[in-house]
Every structure is written in structure tokens, then in C-alpha cells.
Amino acid sequence: MTSPLILASASPRRTALLTQVGIAHRVMPVDIDESPQCDERPWDQVLRLASEKASTAFTRLGEEKQNSVILASDTLIALDGESIGKPADLSDSKRILLQLSGRTHDVLTAISVKNADRQRNECIRTKVHFAELTEQQIEKYWTTGEPLDKAGSYAIQGIGGQFVKAIEGSASAVIGLPLYETIQLLNEFGVEK
């Protein structure tokens, strides 16, 4: 018998990816402080955030703790060793997308799986090669509303995909959940399709 899976995320993209591969789950969003710690590198930050989300969700389970498995994830954009978060406004979106313009950046997606006995974390790095962007393209893109809640101010699975020349690594990780690695970890924890 498979263990019940709880996705500790409000992301519709993560839910859609799990559903796409036939993994039954329920959603239990958690809200944690996602601010970077002093001198924290992006790789360490994304792993910490995924782990904290899983742990926070697990503590809220109550009676279900013995049988449930928690899956949490976090995605960060890293450029020149620095984390690039979500834009606050159009000006911030321009700043972010102009930094990414014509360059290659890393998308780091960490997953954390936890049950009553253990917790495992993994991080997947995908390189994304961006096209050269103009301020006019960025302003037009901003009016779609898509960049507002996205790490790096773009969505590869949406309109922002037009700016991506190529990727090296996991396309699903850039969307928010590396499917191959996630399925392997979930199988270890007794969660199957």
C-alpha cells in the first residue's frame, strides 16, 4: 500500500506536474520566511528552504504523522553566485531580466521528502541560456502579469519561454519540480503511482 502524499506547496505548477505523472496527493501550503541568511549561497539557501517547508508541514499534521509523506520544493535562480528572487514591481522585473539577458543562469530546485522516520533533500541544477532582451520586450511581458510571482521574473512554461534559447538539465525542475528525482525519492518513501 502506498503512503499518502502531502505536497507542502501552493504552487499550481507543482500540483500539475505531480498530477501529470499520476501521483495522487493533497495540497497543504506552508508559509515560512524565505529570506536568505547572512552569506548563504544559493545552493544552500534552496536546500534549506525546501527542508524547512517539509518540516513545517510535518509538524502541522497531528494524527496523520505516522502514515503520511511530505514533499516540499523550492526554486531559486542563481547568477554569478547570487540568488535572484521574485520581482517586487516593473522596475525590479526590468533589473532582473536585463541581468539575465544574453547570459546563462542556473535554476536550482531543491526537493525535500519527509516522513515520521527520516528526511531526504536533493538539489537539481539546470542551466538556462537566455536571449538578448530589450526594455520594450520586458515591459510588454510585464503587462501579461506572468513575471510577478516567478523566481527570476519569468516562467519557462508560459510566455517567458520565448526568451529561453536552450536549457541543459531538467525542464520540469525549471517549472518547479524535477520529476525524475522526485519520483525516485518518493518511491524510497513508499509513495508510488
For 184, the grid coordinates are 525516485
Pairing state between β 104-114 and 119-130: antiparallel
- The partner residues of 182 in beta bridges, in order of sequence, read none
Q: Annotated catalytic residue: which of 33, 39, 44, 74?
A: 74
Instruction: Fill in the DSSP letter of residue 114.
Output: E
Rounded alpha-carbon distances, angstroms, from residue 38 to 34, 42, 95, 193: 12, 11, 23, 40
- 39 classed as catalytic: no
Residue partners of 95: CB distance under 8 A and separation at least 6 = 87
For 126, the grid coordinates are 539546470
| Sign of torsion over alpha carbons 126, 131, 136, 141 | negative
* Rounded CA separation 28/58 (Å): 10
For the annotated catalytic residues, the residue numbers are: 74
